[in-house]
Copies of this chain bind each other. A is one copy, B any other.
């Protein structure tokens, strides 16, 4: 059931021992929201613990020390930034007992007993901040640092179109606390694994250009991952965005190997071209400016098929 902030706060106030669940493949927002809320609850005398079914990436480990991590049995289960119960991973075992889900995804499945959803919020951490204001609980420096992490990471450091005036207002309030935001941003946005840099180098070598440079296609094969020292399940966001970052490119495509003759395609486009429609043509889908599809074929055939289709779409726009 979707509820307002009053009911969400009532649940937080009237209970004492909380587990706060994050989604799997944890990012800055689910962790920042969870540790921020955990800190807020502990500051008003509640017991709270963050539970994540996946290992927490090392770069987020500084949040772990912002709260008291003692173990106990909870009587109240909350989920933050979780749009769908299946994103709980092994913590799906708690699903029938989740009394409150706090989230900002428009795709939220309302799987919890109560869901406080604000789809206008750029990050779930923005909603946790609203809750702390509504509850009139003082926000510690460490809690502010966690909430800032959530907002900064989910907006690409205020770069993406989900950033609103309210996002900046919230960041302004959080920055008044004592933590070094620029150190967090360096860690989140500038720092790279050596293996990822090596992979980027390899990916640049595969770039092929079509249609006077309006289309760029790059490849990432299993062998390239191995050569660069990356693991199979590495976050490839940085390399996937390379083709579309090049000046003049309207459609950027990255072909990622999943198995023998099995490839996933990431497509990013400017407003000129609807990537979602092109990917739908190949049985995939997504958003107008970021979509994907899948092929069981050779790289050369995939390049041929995709480039032919995209070039014809680009010609139609001229």
Residues of A within 8 A of B (CB): 156-161, 163-169, 171-173, 175-176, 180-182, 185-186, 189-194, 197-198, 200-201, 204-205, 207, 213, 241-242, 245-248
Contact = CB atoms under 8 A, between A and B. Distances in A.
Nearest to A160: B182
A175 B163 contact: yes
Contacts of A190: 159, 241, 245
A246 B165 contact: no
A197 B201 contact: no
- Among A156, A205, A247, residue most surrounded by chain B Cβ atoms (within 10 Å): A247
Q: Specify the main secondary structure of chain A where it touches its partner.
A: helix
Nearest to A164: B175
A53 B41 CA distance: 57
Nearest to A201: B204
Contacts of A157: 156-159
Given A191-B247, A245-B191, A247-B193, A165 B161 contact: no
Contacts of A180: 161
A204 B213 contact: no
Contacts of A175: 163-165, 168
A69 to B, nearest CB: 25
A201 B205 contact: yes
Given A192-B246, A204-B201, A165 B173 contact: yes
A197 B172 CA distance: 35
A181 B175 CA distance: 21
Contacts of A248: 194
Nearest to A188: B159
B204 A197 contact: yes
- Among A166, A171, A192, A241, residue most surrounded by chain B Cβ atoms (within 10 Å): A171
Given A168-B169, A197-B245, 12 more contacts: A159-B182, A159-B185, A160-B182, A161-B180, A163-B181, A163-B182, A165-B172, A167-B172, A192-B245, A193-B246, A198-B204, A200-B204
